[in-house]
Chain A
Amino acid sequence: MTQKISAFYYIKNNKRRVLVLVVSLAMFFIASYLTMFLLSTTSETFKAILTENTQCVQYITLGGDDLEVYYSEAEEEYTKTYTELVLEKFEKIDSDIKRCEGIEEVFFAQVEYTRIDSIVGNYYIELPMVNEEQMNKLLKYMGADLLEGRLPEKENEVVLDTVLMKNQGYKLGDGLSQNENVTIVGVIDCGYYFGCGLADENKTVYTNPMICVVTDGSIKDLQMTLRKQGILLEYSVFIDIVNGEKNLKADITDVIATSTNLLSVAIIVIVAILVIIVNISYMRDRRSEWCLYASIGYGRKTIYFSILRELLFTFVIAFLSAIIVCAVLMKIMDITIITELGLRCTYFMPETLMEIVCVYVFLFALMQIPVRMEIYRIKTIDAIDDDM
């Protein structure tokens, strides 16, 4: 003998009402998850730039105090002399660095930049401009295949990976958006946000000089590695895996987290208010129904569990339908927007999923308030007749 009231009596006869709650809850899920999905294009793309690129190529921007070359030391031909002094110093540091284990190549490079735009924010990627021999080594090391065009033959020519081309809408023959004098002559495919070209040999050291360090992937903290070898570059900036991870956290993850937290709180508050208002009105409408159940022998607990099952069903349907809708929308966005922009994304975000589940649990608990209030107002029909 069953002593419970089936939740399906309400669900099958109140499809519209159930649908309103299902849609509200599903919309919350979809809005939250898709927001994080779109933001993942920023975090995933920049993560690839900051941590994956640096597994292959790392950079050192030498500080003036590390170079120990000052303008005052330059003599008559001011600029040229200074450049020569700097290059001399560079060569010495280069040869010291090359002795370190895990380092394959060290080049002096003039660095050009290209921008990568994500859904939110943008980032500038280093493009090492080196000599032909070094460029060929770099391309080989990065596993780059030429897809279109040709390799750089003259100074100020570059090749870019297909993702960078897509992102900025570059075509062969275009100049870099950051420096129109640098022409794109080829498209490569290497799986990294990477590009390189031939340096302008007439340029001076004022044009973004960096030490470009090709590693075997084993070096995470370049500064520490060099320090162990007695190369102290205390005033230089290192672009390596450790700093990449630090920058990713400080400049991207934390910044995104702050704004998404605010957005999430706003969405949760709005959804919670809406769901509570809708639920209160639904509960009120059903008071006489529960009074009937109480009169014909169903206890408050039985009635309460019946309502809980109805709510649980609503939440589960909302959750499952939202997952399906999200999966479809993410796939569509990935194909039509994200891949076309040369960006990366992630579909499965366990933290976001967990947060949504927590919010669902919170909303489920919140919805108990009007339910409990109505449960305690249940009377049997004799009491209703007395009131009348």
Chain B
Amino acid sequence: MFSVKNITMIYDIEKENKMYALGGFDLELPDKGLIGFIGPSGSGKSTLMYCLSTLKKPTAGEIIYNGKDIVNIKASERENLRREEFGFVFQRHFLVPYMSALDNVTVASKRSSKEVRLLAEKKLKLLGLSDREIEKRPSKLSGGQRQRVAIGRAMINEPKVLFADEPTAALDHENAFSVMSVLKEYSKEHLVLVITHDISILKDADHIIEMWDGMIKTGKGGDEN
């Protein structure tokens, strides 16, 4: 699905001490499966995810998605791709404070309101939220519940690729594994990219990619250089 070639991301490019967030590497990602990205802070995991998801444009290199280079496409095409084909779980949950958990999920939907409401309810219940909780605002939910709402929002459009940046960071182990099992289930038909510090939650990952100083260090499965 993704074919990454010589991807390079340099911050402070005009300054003398350039900072290489991504040091120029190739990477192939399959059409489906659960891929884990692991590495210390500043290793370039999030930058890679942002580049793959078109939120950031790499300084150099190619990102081929379904046979098309998505680095130099128009802004509207990038937006369209993010809306139609990608789903996001960010490090911070970024829920809209005035909306209920359910509305936070449906607002990202590209379907009409009636059918999406039922679908969103189903997803949130699958993620462990009760009927009462799905009507609550984020401020009335625990950190773990908020993150599950964010995951529900990411999955509402059944995206082909789901990007999850530390999706279990705010959850206890029991909840973390329950969320990961949902993501694992989702990865049977879709591609799920999970960034995490916690290798224990990646026990069911199809591939684990370790990053270090903007480069891919090792991998379990997958084709990386």
Given known pairs A292-B96, A295-B82, A296-B83, the reply for A5 and B107 (CB within 8 Å) is yes
CB of A9 within 8 A of CB of B94, answer no
Contact with A along B113-145 (1 / 0, CB 8 A): 100000000000000000000000000000000
8 Å CB contacts to A: which residues of B84-112?
Answer: 84, 86-88, 90-91, 94, 96-100, 103, 107-112
B79 touches A299 (CB 8 A): yes
* Residue picked from A5, A291, A297, A380, most chain B C-beta under 10 Å: A297
Q: Does A72 contact B (CB under 8 A)?
A: no
In the complex, 24 of the A-B residue pairs with CB atoms within 8 angstroms, ordered by the A residue number, are A1-B84, A1-B111, A2-B109, A2-B111, A3-B83, A3-B110, A6-B107, A9-B96, A9-B103, A9-B107, A10-B98, A13-B103, A14-B98, A288-B94, A291-B94, A292-B94, A295-B94, A296-B83, A296-B88, A299-B75, A381-B55, A381-B90, A382-B50, A385-B46
* CA A291 to CA B94, docked complex, whole Å: 9
Question: A13 to B135, alpha carbons, bound, how many Å?
Answer: 12
Interfacial residues, chain B to chain A (CB-CB below 8 A)? 46, 50, 55-56, 75-76, 79-84, 86-88, 90-91, 94, 96-100, 103, 107-113, 153
Residue A289, interface by CB 8 Å? yes
Residue numbers in A under 8 Å from B82 (CB-CB): 295-297
> Whole-angstrom distance between the alpha carbons of A13 and B95 in the complex?
14
Q: State whether A297 touches B96 (Cβ < 8 A).
A: no
In this complex, which of A9, A296, A298 has the most chain B Cβ atoms within 10 angstroms of its Cβ? Answer: A296
**Chain A residues, Cβ within 8 Å of B111:** 1-2
Complex: chain A residue closest to B87, CB-CB: A296
- Looking at A10, A13, A289, A382, which has the most chain B CB atoms within 10 Å of its CB? A382
Q: Which residues of A contact B80 (CB under 8 A)?
A: 297
A381 to B75 Cα, complex, angstroms: 16
Closest chain-A Cβ to B159's Cβ sits at a distance in Å of 10
Task: For A299, give the chain B residue with the smallest CB separation.
Answer: B79
CB–CB A297/B79 < 8 A: yes
Contact status A295-B55, CB under 8 Å: yes
In whole angstroms, what is the CA distance A291 to B107 when docked? 14
A297 to B82, CA, bound (A): 5
Task: Find out whether the CB atom of A295 lies under 8 angstroms from the CB atom of B76.
Answer: no
Given A2-B110, A380-B55, A381-B55: A297 in contact with B83 (beta carbons within 8 A) = yes
The docked-state distance in angstroms from the alpha carbon of A171 to that of B221 is: 106
Counting from the closest, the 9 A-B pairs by CB-CB distance are A297-B83, A297-B82, A382-B50, A382-B55, A13-B98, A1-B110, A292-B94, A299-B79, A289-B96
Known: A288-B94, A289-B96, A385-B91. A297 touches B46 (CB 8 A): no
Q: Do A382 and B98 contact each other (CB < 8 Å), given the known contacts A297-B80, A298-B83?
A: no
List 17 additional A-B contacts (Cβ < 8 Å) besides A297-B80, A297-B81.
Answer: A1-B84, A1-B111, A2-B109, A2-B111, A3-B83, A5-B107, A6-B113, A9-B103, A14-B98, A292-B96, A296-B82, A296-B83, A296-B153, A297-B84, A299-B76, A381-B88, A385-B46
Which residues of the other chain, B, contact A1 by a CB distance below 8 angstroms? Answer: 84, 110-111
Chain A minimum-CB-distance residue to B100: A13
